Amino acid sequence: MAKAVLMQGNHACAEGAIAAGARFFAGYPITPSTEVAELLAKRLPQVGGSFIQMEDEIAGMAAIIGASLAGTKSLTATSGPGFSLKQELIGYASMAEVPCVIVNVQRTGPSTGQPTSPAQGDVMQARWGSHGDRGVIALSPSSVPECFTLTVEAFNLAEKYRTPVVLLLDEIIGHMREKFVMPDPASLTIVNRKKPALPPGEFLPYKPEADGVAPMPGYGEGYRFHTTGLVHDYTGFPSGSNAVTHELIERLHTKITNNIDDIVKYEALELDDAEVAVVAFGGTARSAYAAIESARAEGIKAGLFRPITIWPVPEKQLFTVAEKVKTIIVAEMNYGQYVGEVRRVVCGKANVVSLAKWNNDPITPNELLNAIKAGR
Amino acid sequence: MKLKTNVKNCKGCGICVEFCPKKVLELDEVGKIKVAREADCIKCGQCELRCPDYAIFVMRDKK
Amino acid sequence: MEELLVKYFRPKLPHIWCPGCGNGIVTASVVKAIDKLQLDQDKTAIVSGIGCSSRASGYLNFDTLHTAHGRAIPFATGIKLVKPDHNVIVLTGDGDATAIGGNHFIHAARRNINLTVVVFNNSIYGMTGGQYSPLTPHRGMATTAPFGNVDRPFDLCELAKGAGATFVARATTYHANLLADLIAKAIEHKGFALVEAITACPVSFGRQNKMGTPANMIKWQRDNAVMVEAMAKMKPEQLEGKFPIGVLHQAEGTEYVTEYQKVIKRAMGSGE
């Protein structure tokens, strides 16, 4: 039995990557994510993997896509400005369907913003940051142990659906130290990308199977396949066809949306009889736990809906909550990003209130409690 | 046969015509490669070496 | 060439390049070099960026990767680190490698990572229709330099050498056999290897700069490129407008991936 240790979220993320089977990291130092890189610089070579500090954020993203195509599970870590710089290539990974994980320990923006304070400034950037249309997966852990499990989950989803997966941390979760017990590796579910069953010559590298995802060979396996960021047909080669373009871009969405029940994870707390629901994720959910407890102690029927999968939005589950409660309070450390999504999803079934805060301080339990009382 | 052409690949740039030391090659009426005087070919390989489109090959004797 | 087409090209010809474009000659030289060295086709990756030259990867029968503009070298870096026994060859252009990808270029050279980088230098952005690149000559004409190019160009080979590359060579499409030999040497070299291939863009560069037919552009290469060994014996007045070709720099140096493999050995030995 592994013993309990104090560990910070960024380190748990790095350990989760190792446990998921990641053996390559490329990135660039940026606060408040740097500890992910620092720990992996030490841990990866210990397990036969490779770490490289690149010349910039873009190069870090490029290198992990290259390594993943070659056949190695790969990740990078960054924060707001670096996440912006990586966007073109995150889109490349979507288009070329290259599994990879991007850890983004968010900050307040725009620009250099506030590098050392908690914020959740990139909720929308995670969804819409790269140009064009694509489906995305983004997960947001609320504790140190969850940094570990969701990093494993991020790799599993990336491998299963051949897509970049974003881990949206915030500085609270990334830098907080908490009790952590390393899970028994045998207890973890590890998903690896599907390999082609057909031999080279018969195999079409971008022909999806029933789940919307094509098997993926690695380099040196004799498939000699071509990868491009251009619109491409099943062969992987560029195509100018309207039908091919239509089908490919649609599939980049539907391979996510058609499998949404497999992808989404959420936590529902005290919602059965709730009149007021708080929607909160990441570090903000920590204050929500306390606020709900206080509210319940005062006899107020409040509950928490915590999307663990931020993207795609757990729409069905959120709608069900909206049908039962009077008010939904969306608490987030930004100017109000996810609240728009919640409003879209609940379609007026409940009163949606934004509790947005972007002044470097976390949203406190008291602020949430007051909002709950006002929303009754 | 000393020269083999692949007219499908030819874009009519004229490089082979210009570099042929024996004036063996011409562009035809639609601007594609034509072997006009094959008898004069000395198999120097300039055309094949310089063709950017892989449209002309010198037939080598099998070793 | 015919046998090489069958063995190393995908059945996708004719290629997209314009009539008289030298990219086909450079690509043939790459293939000749690969054939000369009898590289394992399943252990050779071809990585390219964006631009005319970067379309070359799609025609070649290897694991091929057409990346994003300027980023071929960092993509290749990722591949090389996880597949140290693979030959990783980057095919890129002057704009791709030295403008948007310039930072990656110098840092890969600095690391002396074992990549072979062939820069198709046609002195212009061809695919977008003739804008000046960092290798367009000073006072050269471009659609974005209608009064002549104000920028001064890089000497790409000097840049690579200064940045730490341990193999630097240049040839032209006129010197196609030399080009193939230099690419073969570059692949064999253990470290960051640059081959600058001077190639003609008759449509987007030649036309604006009144360089005549594609054949004339190749003759310009013939008349202005001088073997570096011969250059040393020439008088300054003979060197006017001339540029050196051949192996311009070769040095021993610690190679990145080899060195990192030692790190892995040390780290695995120590455990935790």
C21-227+234-269, superfamily in CATH?
Answer: Thiamin diphosphate (ThDP)-binding fold, Pyr/PP domains (3.40.50.970)
Query: Is the pLDDT at B61 greater than 90, yes or no?
Result: no
Within a domain: A216 = no
Among candidate residues A187, A206, A231, the one where a domain is terminated = A187
For residue B63, the model assigns a pLDDT of 54
How do residues A35-82 score in pLDDT, each as one tens digit?
999 999 999 999 999 999 999 999 999 999 999 999 999 999 999 999
Please tell me whether residues A302 and A168 are part of one structural domain.
Answer: no
Q: Where are the domains of chain C?
A: 21-227+234-269
Residue pair A341/A364 in contact by the 8 Å Cβ criterion: no
Q: Which whole number is the average pLDDT over B22-44?
A: 97
Q: How confident is the model at residue B62 (pLDDT cuts 50, 70, 90)?
A: low
- Please count the other Cβ atoms lying within 10 Å of the Cβ belonging to residue A144: 23
Task: Kindly report the average pLDDT of chain B as a whole number.
Answer: 95
Residues of B with CB under 8 A from a CB of C: 4, 8-9, 11-15, 17-19, 48-54, 57
User: How close C102 gets to chain A, by Cα (Å)?
Assistant: 11
CA distance C95 to C69: 9
Please tell me whether residues A272 and A174 are part of one structural domain.
Answer: no
User: DSSP code of A235?
Assistant: T
User: How close B56 gets to chain C, by Cα (Å)?
Assistant: 9
Please tell me whether residues A11 and A136 are part of one structural domain.
Answer: yes
Within a domain: A241 = no
* B&C contacts, CB < 8 Å: 60
Among candidate residues A156, A187, A218, the one where a domain is terminated = A187
Task: Indicate the residue of B11, B18, B49 with minimum beta-carbon distance to C215.
Answer: B18
For residue A68, the model assigns a pLDDT of 98
What's the total number of domains in chain A?
A: 2
Within a domain: A221 = no
- One-letter-per-residue 3-state SS of C205-264: HHCCCCCCCHHHHHHHHHHHEEEHHHHCCCCHHHHCCCEEEEEEEECCCCCHHHHHHHHH
3-state SS assignment for residue A65: helix
Please tell me whether residues A151 and A274 are part of one structural domain.
Answer: no
Q: How confident is the model at residue C270 (pLDDT cuts 50, 70, 90)?
A: low
Pairing of β C243-250 and β C167-172: antiparallel
Q: Which residue segments constitute the domains of chain B, with CATH numbers given?
A: 2-59 (3.30.70.20)
Q: Which whole number is the average pLDDT over C188-213?
A: 98
CATH (domain of A141): 3.40.50.970
With the C-alpha atoms ordered C233, C237, C238, C240, is the resulting torsion angle positive or negative? positive
Please tell me whether residues A37 and A164 are part of one structural domain.
Answer: yes
Within a domain: A262 = no
10-residue mean pLDDT series, chain A (376 residues): 92 98 98 98 98 98 98 98 98 98 96 95 98 98 98 98 98 97 96 98 97 98 98 98 98 98 98 98 98 98 98 98 98 98 98 97 98 96
Please tell me whether residues A183 and A306 are part of one structural domain.
Answer: no
Please tell me whether residues A271 and A169 are part of one structural domain.
Answer: no
How do residues C149-200 score in pLDDT, each as one tens digit?
999 999 999 999 999 999 999 999 999 999 999 999 999 999 999 999 999 9
Q: How confident is the model at residue C99 (pLDDT cuts 50, 70, 90)?
A: very high
Task: Kindly report the average pLDDT of chain A as a whole number.
Answer: 97
- Choose, out of A224, A225, A232, A233, the residue to mutate when testing the contact with C (most C CBs < 10 Å): A224
Among candidate residues A147, A165, A187, the one where a domain is terminated = A187
In terms of CA atoms, which chain C residue is nearest residue A235? C58
Query: Is the pLDDT at C89 greater than 50, yes or no?
Result: yes
Is C in contact with A (3 or more beta carbon pairs below 8 Å)? yes
CATH (domain of A324): 3.40.50.920
- Give one DSSP letter per residue of chain C, joined into a string: -HHHHHHHB-S-PSPSPPTT-THHHHHHHHHHHHHHHT--GGGEEEEE-SSSGGGGGGGBSSEEEE--TT-HHHHHHHHHHH-TTSEEEEEEEHHIIIIITHHHHHHHHHHT-S-EEEEEE-SSBTTTTSB--TTSPTT--BTTBTT---SPPP-HHHHHHHHT-SEEEEEESTTHHHHHHHHHHHHHSSS-EEEEEE---IIIIITTTT--SHHHHHHHHHHHEEEHHHHTTS-GGGGTT-EEEEEEEE-----HHHHHHHHHHHHHHH--
CA distance A164 to A98: 7
Query: Is the pLDDT at C8 greater than 90, yes or no?
Result: yes
Q: Which whole number is the average pLDDT over B55-59?
A: 97
CB contact C1 to B (< 8 Å): yes
C-alpha angle C26-C28-C34 in degrees, rounded to nearest 5: 105
Question: Tokens 């990145």 map to which residue?
Answer: C256
Burial (CB < 10 A; 0-12, 13-18, 19+), residue A375, is buried
Residues of chain B contacting C1 with CB distance shorter than 8 Å: 48, 54, 57
Query: Is the pLDDT at C7 greater than 80, yes or no?
Result: yes
CB contact A45 to C (< 8 Å): yes
Pairing of β B25-27 and β B33-35: antiparallel
Task: Indicate the residue of B8, B14, B54 with minimum beta-carbon distance to C215.
Answer: B14
- Give one DSSP letter per residue of A83-126, joined into a string: HHHHHHHHHHHHHHT--EEEEEE--B-STT-BTTS---TTHHHH
How do residues C216-253 score in pLDDT, each as one tens digit?
999 999 999 999 999 999 999 999 999 999 999 999 99
Look at the pTM and tell me if it is higher than 0.90.
yes
Residue span of the structural domain in which A347 resides: 267-375
For residue A1, the model assigns a pLDDT of 64
For residue C271, the model assigns a pLDDT of 45
Within a domain: A196 = no
Q: Which residues pair with C225 in a beta bridge?
A: C243
For residue B1, the model assigns a pLDDT of 85
